[in-house]
Structure 1
């Protein structure tokens, strides 16, 4: 069949579904059938799945003219998805098209949820089309004779590539692809990505810089011009001193009419604890929602999550309170309305969430923005601009991730073994390891065979043997089994399962939260108040509690920070706000800036709103001590580093100690003695000279690198996390990895994994690049120091954030009410 005949088959099928193929879908089909590789940039809900399943099946029809009567079994295509939740729907789409085209192609799923029985069946006979995750692909590479499994592989599709790109799972994919390119001679590699700032680089990382695949590839963009409408929920009464403590719950009554007017509403929260709180409070205040409202986040058990997803499709739920667990591709058209509670901290995340409503080509997406404190309305105004101008973030790829390389080489040694000369060429062809030197390569080989210079005396680190013919191979069955159990790069805190005393699994919770509770304590989880009975064998045994007050679990990943793009948009909006205050209210176009005028007036009365060429510092005294507040508007992580840096530099001038608090707008240094601000300004303490050295000393970088090293040690297999039902406690993992960290620090400071811990701390955790840029910007601004009588509206959220760390939510509300009374005088 020629291409026109193949296209006619597909278009007829589309017509039967009452669909019409988009230009980007046809463009992808053409490129694929021409044997090209590529990256497809398409938003969620635009038909991207069929853009690639269709040509995979058409290509099979083209190469097998008697496909209706004869079928050669074996793996032909792999679809990699970062989320297990997506695999069922992708499988349904593939099965539907393959069957209705009259082929005998089989579709299978292989993820962490796949049963042993199903895996065994796949071992005997692989499906033609396999949907899997990055971890499961590595597990296939760890099985004997994997080269035979993959030899007839024609296509591999990496879905949601933007999600994998800036992570070590992305590095795993790069390494896996470097191997498959060698074994599968006719392999076509395709990625699917939502909009990110660095799409060209995303394609380069996927296909390998300057590779044959990259030179024979296309970047296809779906130009669908999706209309997104952002509506802010503006409080009727504006608090002049905003604070974040109530997580937006004071606006519940504004949200309910929106829920009632829509078929289905998704309420996105930024953290799992906020999700639990909103669900509880909505049900308590509006009991009529019982049975029509559900909750969805990553720690709730799989059955409940799947039930919620199906109920959204069936339109039986009025509202779902959720976290980013519903961000990605779970395809359901019926969602009508999205409410974003609090700033989403990134433009791409906001657009992704908006796209969940009107989740059909051509439909408008509506997203309501609910500020958790008034100043977040500035974020809403900034996001409206970003949506209009499609300003989105870059995803920064990892470089030289030696922990992932060590794991990958052990994987190859566990299965068929490898010859270093061949594999070195493949690894050098990846984006992550393009700068890998011969010396570093020798070090890594030495590490997997001898356990590096300082661990040579211990046999447990000598995992890989060198056979007589020069092949690197794992021959110890125990080593192989432990390695297979630990394949992956997602290292989180140990997770305990939550169960009722009488049986019945509720979900999972992180050990660090549960370790703070004692039997009898009550906590809220999965929408219920539960009393802790005991902890036994990695299980949290609970019973239902009628107690009204309870603790809400928090999770380690809870606090997100602004992206660089979001910070820039926010600053621009802030500068516009300053300018708008010189205009009459009637000529201010933005409803958000108009609503914020009372707060801005109060801010100007006490201090200023900084303009683009100004950098604001406020100082004032309260019962707590002397406060100095700085406003770079750069996001939480940068402020943590900047605050520590400044505190360290001030302490070199005067012996003084500080308490540090920060949010996305600024940071506070609190002390029991007054800072000599003239001295701070005269000594140019915002200089970026000696930045790394001062950061290292100010932040206790060794301690941060030590924590980072735990993850690196787990990924590289230096510490074993335990067997499935007998996981090793986090504190033991931490102490084992700390011991190794100290050994390397004292005896082998050039150890590549040890050095990686510091590099990742500075590059990824402290965002050292962004820190430099913000210091460069401050250097060009005029520093305005305002000595205030009392806290200002801008400083209030930072101060109250610090109090929250110390006080329970009830005491905090009382304390803040008293503070507000003082300020309103």
Structure 2
């Protein structure tokens, strides 16, 4: 008799490869045998995916099921934040399943899955279904979901850190509650390599937040990562910019040395730009690919397959390949620009080698001097094993509204039973009955301001207190429009023969005319025509124009911001920096002062007939943008004639016609209680937030049978409804949801509040005769971003060299 809980089929498979099951893999099997939920935290390359699926593989071993035969129906769900990850997991699971000879069918389901296969999966499901939170929610909206999931045994949630704290996590939490109701014996499993607070994720994973119901399994430690910061060989570290184009020749040399190099960028625009620059120097015509979320499914699959087969020497990618993708032949990972967080960097570094016992090698390529400090801070955090991440917050009411509608599409429901089910998820455990009633009334009528319109009447309560759909057509409309990710409206780029290359944002497409050229998907294209939701193109000669995308910026984590500020006041530590960076900091220290963890430095100086004030906040771009809006408004009120502002993650520069003699009144905490409210009410922020919650909640539908609304049409519809609700129903549940988004996600209001609360005690105002060294990186951005209009309508373009020359002159006193 086999004394190990590992079935002989699996034990022999391990032995045949000269491997041993790792301790954490066996611990996950033990948790399953003990009928426990489990959270596995293990380094990249530690075999987390196999650990998560080990109990499933064991259940399908002939030695375990014997004459009774293998389990029937859907046994295990695997939920991934990325389509690419689900497909990669399928590839990596099929091989061991086939080699072990297990009777296990594995399939994927996402927005890219053909409709006929989706339909078949509901009537004849595989044993293992790999999917995303959105596709799972849609499956739960069908009446046959109760039959489909009734015998579900396990759900494996991969890379839980990537989405549990956001709205996709809210949707998944609600789906988990529904699945648990349908299949009470289902056990939940979550996997991650980068959790800063495992206890919080244990509570999120558990039904009713019962931490004791979830085993915490910690993986074996892997080899420490080898992280280097790439520096210019002959030039100096740039003052400004994020693209790090200076590094292209050195990066190409790195590609030539390696078998495969994976190059990460923080935006789709930068991915296209870096890819183009690499091809400009690719004299050896090495196979270099590009991957981002706006490329067509065919283009992404082609690149993923080529990487899996080892056919590419380099791949430029965005966060579309951040998570879990297992390509063992990657020699080096390159991060272009600042990493913005140690956990994100660890995740990306882990794509190199992807083996626990081999060190992953990574290069960080800073675009400017502050990014060098941030890269150094991130490297230190990785070396010390320190992780960061977002904290949990109450679940979104717009997401709850979408889930309620999904439940109604599946079957009539009793409201208190559904409320109990919803409250079993940590995201909604504190949901009170008043808020629940408001959500129900919204789904039922749209709210009292909209209830006169039949199209908003989606569910109705009968005399027995049961809620049901008012018409079956609402189920189809829900399934066409449900989802959490609300991107800007996209137009498809395709050749005349119909072949699709991917998508560009509508606002970029609107700027194009026939004959214009742009680079996309690694090709130079000429616009032939714009037709409906398509941009028809043909091959063209080289073009320098690249599509711009309005996606949200990656936020600088508080953890890295604190580390950078600590570096600035650690004068002894400056000795390890390159000469030009060290001289930059030393000159700043001599001429002005240094911002630090407990000091808010504000500098004022004249330049080019304008008066400038620079605030060193380290609160991230979103918070600094909000602060800039508020400060310029206060300056207007005080007659200081502001001209505009520009922000980066580290600082905010505001200019005007008159000097700011005392910045303290501009930074008083009551700015958030009064001006912030007024500003958000009247700004695009709340309208944009409302547009998103209106789409997520189902109030505004983007898709109709045979037709899709343009972004302009969606914006017009949501703006119209927003104006009605603000006037007649300002306490509408979606106005509340939009406020929550505008305050938290779009403006980082919590970080801004902490900054302002401490400003009175920690403010140091330094008046200078000219620009300071530390101000140069933000000053060189002026004129290179669209600027808000103020009392002075002025767009100045500063050259870095002239600014730096003024800043670094030793005779420039205070």
Q: Give the distance between the partners of 1:488 and 1:655, measured in 2 at CA.
A: 46
Worse overlay, 98-107 or 127-136: 98-107
> Which digits, 9 at most, give the CA deviation of each residue in 1:450-470, with x for residues without a partner?
331111211111111334543
| 1:303 to 1:565, Cα distance in 2 relative to 1, 3 A | same
Q: Which residue of 1 aligns with 2:704?
A: 723
Are residues 579 and 652 of structure 1, via their aligned partners in 2, closer, same or farther at CA, if it must alter by over 3 Å? farther
Structure 1 residue 217 corresponds to structure 2 residue 214: yes
For 1:564 and 1:815, locate their aligned partners in 2 and report how far apart those are by CA, in whole Å: 31
CA distance in 1, matches of 2:2, 2:452: 64
Shift of 1:303: 2.0
Gaps of 5+ in 2: 788-794, 810-814
Could you say what secondary structure the match of 1:658 adopts? strand
Question: Helix, strand or coil for the counterpart of 1:802?
Answer: coil
1:566-612 residue CA offsets vs partner (Å, 9 max, x unmatched)? 11111112222x4556xxxxxx2x2x355512323443454333355
Report the CA distance between 1:418 and its aligned residue: 1.2
Q: 1:647 to 1:145 in 2, by over 3 A?
A: same
Are 1:617 and 2:607 matched, yes or no? no
1:226 and 2:210 equivalent?
no
SS at match of 1:391: coil
1:267 aligns with 2:254: no
Work out the CA distance in 2 between the residues paired with 1:427 and 1:51: 29
Structure-2 residue corresponding to 1:691: 672
Matched, 1:511 2:506: yes
Give the TM-score of the pair, scaled to structure 2: 0.93
Aligned to 2:776: 796
SS of the equivalent of 2:58 reads: helix
Query: CA separation of 1:763/1:98 partners in 2, compared to 1, >3 Å: closer, same or farther?
Result: same
CA contact (8 A) 1:240 1:598 kept: no
Aligned pair 1:408/2:403, yes or no? yes
Partner of 2:279: 283
State the shift of 1:98 in Å: 4.1
Question: How far apart, in 2, do the equivalents of 1:655 and 1:628 lie?
Answer: 12
Query: Aligned pair 1:607/2:592, yes or no?
Result: yes
Q: Distance in 2 between matches of 1:676 and 1:130?
A: 61
Distance of 1:737 and 1:359 partners within structure 2: 45
**Residue ranges of structure 1 left out of the alignment (5+ in a row):** 582-587
Task: Verify: 1:369 aligned to 2:364, yes or no.
Answer: yes
Which of 244, 251, 256 is residue 252 of structure 2 equivalent to?
256
Query: Aligned partners of 2:796, 2:502: CA distance in 1, in Å?
Result: 30
- Of 532, 544, 564 in structure 2, the residue corresponding to residue 570 of structure 1 is 564
1:133 matched residue in structure 2: 132
Q: In the TM superposition, what is the alpha-carbon distance from 1:794 to its structure 2 partner? A: 1.9
Counterpart in the other structure of 1:38: 38
Distance (Å, rounded) in 1 between the aligned partners of 2:459 and 2:2: 50
How far apart are 1:374 and its partner, in Å? 2.9
Contact 1:296 1:305 in 2 (8 A): yes
Measured in 2, the distance between the counterparts of 1:412 and 1:423 equals 9
Instruction: Check the 8 A contact 2:237/2:368 in 1, yes or no.
Output: no
1:585 equivalent in structure 2? none
Shift of 1:236: 3.3
Asked whether the 8 Å contact 2:82–2:320 carries over to 1, the reply is no
Mapped to 2, the partners of 1:511 and 1:676 lie a distance apart of: 41
Give the alignment of 1:538-687 within 5 angstroms: 538-548=533-543, 550-557=544-551, 559-576=553-570, 578-580=571-573, 588=575, 590=576, 592=577, 594-604=579-589, 606-623=591-608, 625-671=610-656, 673-678=657-662, 680-681=663-664, 683=665, 685-687=666-668
| Partner residue in 1 for 2:724 | 743
Asked if 2 retains the 8 angstrom alpha-carbon contact of 1:110 and 1:133, the reply is yes
Matched, 1:533 2:528: yes
Offset of residue 297 of structure 1: 1.4
Q: What does residue 65 of structure 1 align with? A: 65
Shift, 1:239, TM fit: 4.1
Tell me: CA distance 1:81–1:723, structure 2 relative to 1, closer, same or farther (3 Å). same
- Equivalent pair of 2:528/2:536 in contact (CA under 8 Å): yes
Deviation at 1:118?
1.6
Q: CA deviation at 1:822?
A: 7.0
Cα deviation, 1:696-717, whole Å, max 9, x if unaligned, reads 2345565311110101111111
Shift of 1:540: 0.6
User: 1:377-436 deviations in whole A, cap 9, x for unaligned?
Assistant: 211221121112222223233414111111111111112221112111111121121121
3-state SS of paired residue (1:542): strand
Q: Give 3-state SS (helix, strand or coil) of 1:609's partner.
A: coil
When structure 1 is superposed on structure 2, of 125-134 and 606-615 the one drifting more is 606-615
- Alignment partner of 1:23 is 2:43: no
SS of equivalent residue, structure 2 residue 536: strand
Contact 2:566–2:596 (CA under 8 A) maintained in structure 1 = no
The separation in 2 between residues aligned to 1:617 and 1:470, in whole angstroms, is 61
Bigger shift: residues 605-614 or 354-363: 605-614
Structure-2 change in CA distance of 1:175 and 1:367 (3 Å):
same
Tell me the CA shift for residue 84 of structure 1: 1.2
- Aligned match of 2:812: none
Q: Is the 1:145–1:416 Cα contact (8 Å) retained in structure 2?
A: no
The answer to whether 1:492 aligns with 2:487 is yes
1:766-781 equivalences in 2 (<5 Å):
766-781=747-762
Partners in 1 of 2:512 and 2:802 — Cα distance?
30
Q: Indicate how the Cα distance of structure 1 residues 558 and 236 shifts in structure 2: closer, same or farther if over 3 A, else same.
A: farther
Q: Deviation per CA, 1:138-168, whole angstroms, max 9, x where unpaired?
A: 1211112321111111111111111121221
- 1:468–1:145 CA distance, 2 compared to 1 (3 A): farther
Q: Is 1:734 equivalent to 2:724 in the alignment? A: no
How far off its partner does 1:216 sit? 2.1
Note the C-alpha offset of 1:210.
4.0
Report how many aligned residue pairs link the two structures: 802
Kept after mapping to 1: 8 A contact 2:630/2:679: yes
Cα distance, 1:413–1:105 mapped onto 2, change above 3 Å: same
CA distance in 1, matches of 2:379, 2:64: 51
Once the 2 structures are TM-superposed, how far is the Cα of residue 785 of structure 1 from its aligned partner?
0.8
SS in 2 for 1:473: strand
Secondary structure of the 1:252 match is helix
**1:323 alignment partner in structure 2:** 318
SS at match of 1:746: helix
Q: Specify whether residues 603 and 544 from structure 1 end up closer, same or farther in structure 2 by C-alpha distance, changes over 3 A only.
A: farther
Is the CA contact 1:165–1:396 (under 8 Å) kept in the aligned structure 2? no
Superposition deviation, residue 201 in structure 1:
0.9
TM-score normalised by structure 1 residue count:
0.92
Where 1:334 maps in the other structure, the secondary structure is: coil
Q: CA deviation at 1:746?
A: 1.1
Report the CA distance between 1:355 and its aligned residue: 0.9
- 1:208 matched to 2:204? The reply is no
- Say if 1:168 and 1:782 are closer, same or farther in 2 by CA, change over 3 A: closer
Shift of the alpha carbon at 1:2?
A: 7.8
Q: Deviations over 1:501-527 (max 9, x none)?
A: 344321111112212223322222112
* Distance in structure 1 (CA, Å) of the matches to 2:209 and 2:472: 39
Q: Distance between the aligned counterparts of 1:100 and 1:236, measured in 2?
A: 50
Return closer, same or farther for 1:401/1:822 CA change in 2, 3 Å cut-off: closer
Q: Does 1:762 align with 2:762?
A: no
How many Å separate the matches in 2 of 1:254 and 1:28?
A: 44
Moved more, 614-623 or 123-132: 614-623
Aligned equivalents of 1:533 and 1:264: distance in 2?
Answer: 37
1:539 Cα deviation after fit: 0.6
8 Å Cα contact 1:644/1:699 also seen in 2: no
* Aligned-pair CA distance for 1:242: 0.8
Q: Could you say if the C-alpha distance between residues 19 and 29 of structure 1 is closer, same or farther in structure 2, counting changes exceeding 3 Å?
A: same
Q: Which moved more, 1:779-788 or 1:815-824?
A: 815-824
Q: Are 2:60 and 2:103, in contact at CA under 8 Å, matched by a contact in 1? A: no
Q: 1:91 corresponds to which residue? A: 90
Q: Which SS does the other structure have where 1:803 is aligned?
A: coil
Provide the rounded CA distance (Å) in 2 between the counterparts of 1:154 and 1:166.
Answer: 25
Change (3 A) 1:100 1:412: same
* Alignment of 1:444 onto 2:439: yes
Deviation at 1:356, TM superposition (A): 1.0
